[in-house]
Structure 1
Amino acid sequence: MAFDYDLFVIGGGSGGVRAARLAAAEAGVRVGLAEEYRMGGTCVIRGCVPKKLMVFASGYPVAMADARAYGWDVAAGGFDWTAFRAKLDAELDRLEGIYRGNLQRAGVEIFDARAVLADAHTVRLADGTEKTARHILVATGGRPFVPEFPGAEHVITSNEVFRLDALPRRVLIVGGGYIACEFACILNGLGVAVTQYYRGAQILRGFDEEARGHIAGAMCDQGIDLRLGCNVQRIDRVADGLWVKSTDGHDGVYDAVLYATGRVPNSAGLGLDGLGVGLKPNGAIEVDGYSQTAVPSIYAVGDVTDRINLTPVAIREGAAFVETVFKGRPTRADHDLVPGAVFTRPEFGTVGLSEEEARARGGVEIYATAFRPMQSGFAGREERVLMKLIVCATTRRVLGCHIVADHAGEMIQLAAIAIRMGATKEDFDRTVAVHPTIAEELVTLKAPVRTW
């Protein structure tokens, strides 16, 4: 059978774009790609990139306060959200143009339309046009999840927060994951009065518990009204905003309610269930180690598979797919020891095992320290840095590293290289410290604080 394309990609996010571009440019195959919204996906358009720019913007009040403590005569005016958003929109337009241009230069044919699967080798575009392909790659990402409750129609999610016409004066953020905590810190830094509800006992579930507590304390110290064991019962629109009834009696009125209660795979309505493609209860597409579904011609990468939902992981999965299918080199995307960063204030960088995961295995040593860093200490701020290493007592390999500090994301990337290479605690010890820095503490932790 003759196909219109060797590969048709549904979704123009990080994983889909990488796969399409490499297949066309390096493997020389005919590639089509359909994207129903904007090229670049969640990360570029409504996730990592705009969020990080807002993180930068939100840090300037503290930076200016520190500058005064260091002798500079500076004063902060009000934050101009309108000016910032205009520049943010222009930057996202620029990045989208780069993604689109890279695809076009590689020879990928782009369709700005929703696509669904008609059969194992056919996709149907929104206008009814059908395209056939030897292989189909689903890379449709994920979307924010909002539970059903009275007044749910009044809330916004991370998709809408970048498009606000004006910053709210009072905001309620519901959720305790990294997206909720990041936006709590961002909006607090931009001068918004922030309340955060989380139904669990501590924020950032799944991360190292000591780091979680450290960050929660820092957020409270910054003025975020963090309420644990608390959830929303209902929301009603009232004259001066949105009235929220809570489960702990802490009712209040807010200008906006931002729900960050998790994300779900964006697989609904794609026609997958009728083709024999396996779906998990949350809608994630079931794939094997090579990103292949139960239907041999259909593959999936990125957040729609709900493996590790990070942009660099989706990119690796897309590249591994091309190596496997079009270059004859079966390649599995490696999901082991993936580093990550949470852009709270201060940042949290992490790689490898948490203390709780290590304790369950036994035979580990915990090295940790918390201290006031030089820069903020001189400025009179009380914030503290946390540095932590998880070490196997037998092999001496460093199994995990957790950093809560300014620029933790930058530091954890380099620490992850050493840990990935199998560095031992003694390798860290033999490395000469760079003084005076925060990171030098990673090589000066001499005695374990706990053993399990």
Structure 2
Amino acid sequence: MKNIVIGSGPAGRLAALELGKLGEEALLIEKNHIAGTCLNEGCMVICALTDITRFIETNNRFNSYGFLKSQIDISYDKIVEKIQETQVKLRKLNELENESVNNQIIYGKASIHDNEIHVNGGSYNYDKLLISTGARPYIPDMPGNQYGLTNKDILKIDEIPDKLNIIGSGFIACEIANIYSKLGSEVTIFSRHSFLKNIDEDIKKYILKYLISGVTLKENVNVLKIKKNVAITDVGEFEGSTFFAVGRLPNSEIAEGFIDLNTDSTIKVNEFLESSKKNVYAAGDVIGGYQMTPIARMEGIAAARNMAGFLNKIDYKCIPQSISLNMDVSYVNDEKIENKDLKEISYPAIAGPNSFWNILTGDTGLSKISFDSEENKIGNISAISPSSVSDVAYLSYLMRIGADLDDFENFIEIHPSTDTNYKIIKSMWL
């Protein structure tokens, strides 16, 4: 076999697809389900549940305004059932996509033996190998950790917990808190340090005030021990199920003793995503860095092209990121100028689709841009609005190609929209 790809998450699936498009023979090996964490345990599950919480919040808002009278009866087991039905359909589409370029897919646990891959009792030689085995939730080493839930358990929960204690301080903790608090759980977040420390402070305050206002946040608190339905912390005991959202570990065990690993157990690669062993590559969460689906896809495609002899590198400058809440939170930073003395401008987000009725309660969102007036460049963008994901994505591209502030002036937004960034940039010349 000319090319073997182990792991069919966003990196591996897209790598195999790219190899097929380039006319390269490729075998894709997957231990569980095609499409990896994103579809089966991560992003897509979060998005599905967040769609429901947005509907619940809109229903409650309309009821409070008096022009809609309805009551919602939530069936969590039916939600899980329909998510799983959708996953089956999407897995089939992902399989067909790879098979359409003549790729072979094998399901089974692979192991590496020098220049051979063993799976399901068979062995396969390769010329080029890509390891894209992803990552898994980190489980803290504490008494009772067997009682803790992770994102892998979301579709295994029988019912919505009455009380949920979330250990973590990042995006996953925030998204899980939003979902279960809107579904009716009494949610408490325990953050060992500062919550959402990489987010602009004004954006964080907005999130806490408007987006997860029903959640209790306890910062600088350590969880010491877990019992079946109790979290024991250094500030007391708290009843409820416990959810771990404290980071992820690379699934790099398959590569131990075969290629070099970094001190954090991620696979060490060069700028061409090649490992310490010639013709063995790695991409996606297993190499660390930005653990995001779009980046994993980008790395998978880049690795495939390098495997096929079309050398290319990845530019990690100005990567847009987001938190999926009932109103999306998105941001991008230009690391080269973010530490300079930047000027800041912020506005409430413009009301439009999916936010018109928020005007009455003053929570239409918030956008904030920092810029270097001397270099005429944008340094940071943070936005909370129904359109922030797409707004920040296109603005990050302009930042990545080094566009001046003047270049943004010719942009014409589609009306109606909730894009405040356009208004902010225009105001810079007033």
Using the size of structure 1 for normalisation, the TM-score is 0.88
Cα deviations by residue, 1:36-63 (Å, 9 ceiling, x for unpaired): 1111101111111111011100111221
Matching residue's letter, 1:189: K
SS at match of 1:106: coil
SS at match of 2:130: strand
- Provide the residue aligned with 2:126 in structure 1: 133
1:148 deviation in Å?
0.7
| Aligned counterpart for 1:364 among listed residues 342, 353, 358 | 342
SS at match of 1:162: helix
| Aligned counterpart for 1:190 among listed residues 179, 183, 188 | 183
1:446 deviation in Å?
6.7
| Aligned counterpart for 1:324 among listed residues 306, 311, 322 | 306
Aligned residue runs from structure 1 range 156-167, under 5 A: 156-167=149-160
- Is 1:344 matched with 2:325? yes
**1:172, 1:194 within 8 Å by CA — same for their partners in 2?**
yes
- Is 1:19 matched with 2:19? no
Aligned residue runs from structure 1 range 268-279, under 5 A: 268=253, 270=254, 272-275=255-258, 277-279=259-261
- Provide the residue aligned with 1:148 in structure 2: 141
1:411 deviation in Å?
2.4
| Aligned counterpart for 2:245 among listed residues 260, 266, 282 | 260
1:372 deviation in Å?
8.6
- Provide the residue aligned with 1:215 in structure 2: 207
Alpha-carbon separation, structure 2, partners of 1:302 and 1:385: 32
1:7 deviation in Å?
0.6
**2:368, 2:421 within 8 Å by CA — same for their partners in 1?**
no
**2:349, 2:419 within 8 Å by CA — same for their partners in 1?**
no
- Is 1:293 matched with 2:280? no
Alpha-carbon separation, structure 1, partners of 2:377 and 2:54: 36
Matching residue's letter, 2:209: G
**2:388, 2:419 within 8 Å by CA — same for their partners in 1?**
no
Deviates more, 1:379-388 or 1:97-106: 379-388
Over 3 Å counting, the alpha-carbon distance change for 1:363 and 1:232 in structure 2 is: closer
**1:7, 1:31 within 8 Å by CA — same for their partners in 2?**
yes
Cα deviations by residue, 1:21-49 (Å, 9 ceiling, x for unpaired): 2212x232322121111111011111111
| Aligned counterpart for 2:55 among listed residues 32, 56, 60 | 60
- Provide the residue aligned with 1:246 in structure 2: 233
- Is 1:234 matched with 2:225? yes
1:72 deviation in Å?
3.0
Alpha-carbon separation, structure 1, partners of 2:112 and 2:186: 46
Matching residue's letter, 1:313: I
Alpha-carbon separation, structure 2, partners of 1:435 and 1:315: 31
**1:372, 1:383 within 8 Å by CA — same for their partners in 2?**
no
Over 3 Å counting, the alpha-carbon distance change for 1:316 and 1:432 in structure 2 is: closer
| Aligned counterpart for 2:109 among listed residues 114, 126, 129 | 114
- Is 1:393 matched with 2:373? yes
Cα deviations by residue, 1:308-344 (Å, 9 ceiling, x for unpaired): 2111111111211222221x32111222222121112
- Is 1:280 matched with 2:280? no
SS at match of 1:218: helix
- Is 1:425 matched with 2:417? no
- Is 1:37 matched with 2:17? no
Deviates more, 1:310-319 or 1:384-393: 384-393
Alpha-carbon separation, structure 2, partners of 1:130 and 1:359: 50
- Provide the residue aligned with 1:48 in structure 2: 43
- Provide the residue aligned with 1:97 in structure 2: 92
Over 3 Å counting, the alpha-carbon distance change for 1:17 and 1:433 in structure 2 is: closer
- Provide the residue aligned with 1:28 in structure 2: 23
Matching residue's letter, 1:425: L
Matching residue's letter, 2:116: T
- Provide the residue aligned with 2:293 in structure 1: 311
Matching residue's letter, 2:243: L
Report the count of equivalent residues: 426
1:445 deviation in Å?
5.5
Alpha-carbon separation, structure 2, partners of 1:301 and 1:308: 11
Matching residue's letter, 2:398: A
Alpha-carbon separation, structure 2, partners of 1:177 and 1:310: 14
Alpha-carbon separation, structure 2, partners of 1:20 and 1:378: 45
SS at match of 1:171: strand
1:197 deviation in Å?
0.8
Over 3 Å counting, the alpha-carbon distance change for 1:423 and 1:78 in structure 2 is: same
Alpha-carbon separation, structure 2, partners of 1:353 and 1:444: 18
**2:17, 2:97 within 8 Å by CA — same for their partners in 1?**
yes
- Provide the residue aligned with 1:383 in structure 2: 363
Alpha-carbon separation, structure 2, partners of 1:73 and 1:210: 33
Matching residue's letter, 1:143: R
- Provide the residue aligned with 2:216 in structure 1: 225
Over 3 Å counting, the alpha-carbon distance change for 1:413 and 1:70 in structure 2 is: farther
Alpha-carbon separation, structure 1, partners of 2:359 and 2:79: 28
Alpha-carbon separation, structure 2, partners of 1:70 and 1:169: 28
- Is 1:75 matched with 2:70? yes
Matching residue's letter, 1:368: S
- Provide the residue aligned with 1:204 in structure 2: 196
Deviates more, 1:203-212 or 1:388-397: 203-212
Alpha-carbon separation, structure 2, partners of 1:135 and 1:15: 16
- Alignment gaps of 5+ in structure 1: none
Cα deviations by residue, 1:114-146 (Å, 9 ceiling, x for unpaired): 112111x21122x44221100110000000001
Q: Percent identity?
A: 22
Cα deviations by residue, 1:325-370 (Å, 9 ceiling, x for unpaired): 21x321112222221211123321112238xx8453x242222234
Matching residue's letter, 1:314: A
Matching residue's letter, 2:117: V
Alpha-carbon separation, structure 1, partners of 2:78 and 2:200: 38
Using the size of structure 2 for normalisation, the TM-score is 0.92
